[in-house]
Chains A and B, each alone.
Chain A
Amino acid sequence: MTTLTIKRSLTGAVDTVLFPLLGIGCVIALWTLASATFAPTLPNPIKTWEASRLYVLEPFEKRGELDQGILRFTWYSLVRVAKGYTLGLLVGTPLGLMLGISKAFSRSFDPMIQVLRPVSPLAWLPLGLVLFQKPEPAGLFTIAMCSMWPTVLNTALGVKSIPQDYINVARVLRLSRTKMLFKVMLPSALPYMFTGFRLSLGIAWLVIVASEMLTGAPGVGGFLWQEYNSLIYEHLILCIITIGVVGFLLDRLMSMIESRLRMA
């Protein structure tokens, strides 16, 4: 029995550690191969690590406005994302609720939403600059405009998917509008809403790079663009990896909260 448990935990370790490591190994090998053969401008993994070491090993160091540890830059970006994302949720959730509750509202605004939804962050940012005349609020505007759609659509879907049974109960009890909203609608729609929140956060993080690149704001995206202009290509790769890892962690975090909610 003990050998069986050991065997099982070994298989578990192979599945969760060894295979992912194998995948990473393959990518690094391909990367090395690429930089050695057909893409001479691409810095190889070793050069990338050497150039990035300072930024990774002293992640919170501030040596100058444009020369800071990678996690410090990440933090700036996260704060910016948090602001824009919150703004997106504050606008998107009520909008989604309205779309789900009112057929007339849905008929009126759904076509407009379908038109605005695919607009790229690169298009929103200049409009934000025109509107606010300053890069910071323009960036937040862009993040909010791009990230709110999954929240809007999933909240609306959640409200529309409230089982008829619950609505019947509410009608028999003659629940007031507020009670209907807080005791029936929101709890019933919450799992859908959270799926929207998770997707929105993913988009908000996706948009941050574009928004920082165009405004030159300090952050991972800003750093990336600045290092490209300074021809330090190793740091581009560092930024890409950082953005990917942070995005992955954010998604994991939201999934964890989401599955908690689903169980409750």
Chain B
Amino acid sequence: MALLELKAVCKSYDGEARPGRFAGRSDVLRNIDLAVEAGEFLAIVGYSGAGKSTLMSLMAGLIPADSGSMTFDGRPIREPGPERGVVFQNYSLLPWLTVFENVYLAVDQVFTDWPRAKKRAHTEQQIALVNLTPARDKRPAQLSGGMRQRVALARGLAMDPAVLLLDEPLGALDALTRAVLQDELARLCQASGKTIVLVTNDVDEAILLADRIIPLGAGPAATLGPSFAVEIARPRDRKALNRDQAWKRVRAQVIDYLLSSAKASRNRAPKPNAPALQGTLEPAE
């Protein structure tokens, strides 16, 4: 049985609730079937605005599905919880707390029966893991974007969740920092051996990090594509990857799928909220 399972999940939003868009209901996700196995690193790659974050919020339990079933470890997902840790794209650190306090808040909340000293030590350890010990008493505003995302990552890992949901965790970073953090993320994830679901719009990032990639087609009413296994040994070296045949193959497969789904989406009646084609997935034609 899969650890995290979504069956025929649909989600749409009310048009009125989102100003600036056309009125009426807009379908975001339709018939999503997803099974995340324990211990795997799954990446979901899709266009900006295709509903990736919505899918993430559904798995986290932050928003309810309109229909279909969502289960975690066999139990239905009704609300968020620390067994499904989330690292958000915009870090979501509390600006009035220091690095230590931000991580400690999560540790304190999850390991309620631990003695104080153990909780503190665990927090220190997690901060050291992301190389932020020198910044432990700084507030988020004093840190760079890359450092903030490391804190968010440390907080996510410190909760020791059964599954870690990464919602475009590197999306807000510049290209260089992003590359550094990708390598760091690969190292941390491999070391932790956790079940991880990464949502991203960067195919290369997905291939570098994941065991398996599922493309999310273009919206509206996006659906998940077939699963593509990434059969490249770890640790993966980003320089060597360019010449790797398996890398070339999976990259071509994922991009082909995404481009044809975008074309199909445009050939359907064009709607005012068609997805923005952005980033690395911009079609060349």
Question: A residues near B, CB below 8 A?
Answer: 165-166, 168-169, 171-175, 179, 183-184, 187-188, 264
Closest residue of chain A to B90 (Cβ to Cβ) is A165
12 other A-B residue contacts (CB within 8 Å) besides A168-B92, A172-B62, A187-B94: A166-B92, A166-B94, A172-B86, A173-B82, A173-B105, A173-B106, A173-B159, A174-B109, A175-B109, A179-B109, A184-B94, A264-B96
Q: How far is the CB of B265 from chain A (nearest CB, A)?
A: 28
Question: Is the pair A171, B79 in contact by a Cβ cutoff of 8 Å?
Answer: yes
Question: Is the pair A165, B80 in contact by a Cβ cutoff of 8 Å?
Answer: no
Cα of A264 to Cα of B62 in the assembled complex, Å? 30
Closest residue of chain B to A264 (Cβ to Cβ) is B96
Q: How far is the CB of B54 from chain A (nearest CB, A)?
A: 13
Question: Is the pair A171, B80 in contact by a Cβ cutoff of 8 Å?
Answer: yes
Residues facing A in B26-74 (CB within 8 A) are: 60, 62
For B81, B84, B86, B109, which residue has the most chain A Cβ atoms within 10 angstroms?
Answer: B109
Q: How far is the CB of A190 from chain B (nearest CB, A)?
A: 8
Cα of A95 to Cα of B60 in the assembled complex, Å? 33
Q: How far is the CB of B88 from chain A (nearest CB, A)?
A: 6
Question: Is the pair A165, B105 in contact by a Cβ cutoff of 8 Å?
Answer: no
The answer to whether the Cβ of B85 comes within 8 Å of any Cβ in the partner chain is: yes
Cα of A166 to Cα of B152 in the assembled complex, Å? 12
Question: Is the pair B62, A183 in contact by a Cβ cutoff of 8 Å?
Answer: no
Question: Is the pair A173, B88 in contact by a Cβ cutoff of 8 Å?
Answer: no
Question: B residues near A, CB below 8 A?
Answer: 60, 62, 79-82, 84-86, 88, 90, 92, 94, 96-97, 105-106, 109-110, 159
19 chain-A/chain-B pairs, Cβ below 8 angstroms: A166-B94, A168-B62, A168-B86, A168-B92, A169-B88, A169-B94, A171-B80, A172-B80, A172-B82, A173-B82, A173-B159, A174-B81, A174-B82, A175-B109, A183-B97, A183-B105, A184-B94, A188-B96, A264-B96
Cα of A166 to Cα of B90 in the assembled complex, Å? 11
Closest residue of chain B to A166 (Cβ to Cβ) is B94
Q: For residue A166, which residues in chain B have a CB less than 8 angstroms away from its CB?
A: 92, 94
Q: For residue B80, which residues in chain A have a CB less than 8 angstroms away from its CB?
A: 168, 171-172, 174
Cα of A179 to Cα of B106 in the assembled complex, Å? 12
Closest residue of chain B to A176 (Cβ to Cβ) is B109
Cα of A165 to Cα of B84 in the assembled complex, Å? 16
Question: Is the pair A172, B60 in contact by a Cβ cutoff of 8 Å?
Answer: yes
Cα of A257 to Cα of B278 in the assembled complex, Å? 45
Q: For residue B109, which residues in chain A have a CB less than 8 angstroms away from its CB?
A: 173-175, 179
Q: For residue A169, which residues in chain B have a CB less than 8 angstroms away from its CB?
A: 88, 92, 94
Q: For residue A173, which residues in chain B have a CB less than 8 angstroms away from its CB?
A: 82, 105-106, 109-110, 159
For A166, A172, A174, A188, which residue has the most chain B Cβ atoms within 10 angstroms?
Answer: A172
Cα of A38 to Cα of B93 in the assembled complex, Å? 65
Question: Is the pair B96, A165 in contact by a Cβ cutoff of 8 Å?
Answer: no
For A165, A169, A183, which residue has the most chain B Cβ atoms within 10 angstroms?
Answer: A169
Q: How far is the CB of B78 from chain A (nearest CB, A)?
A: 12
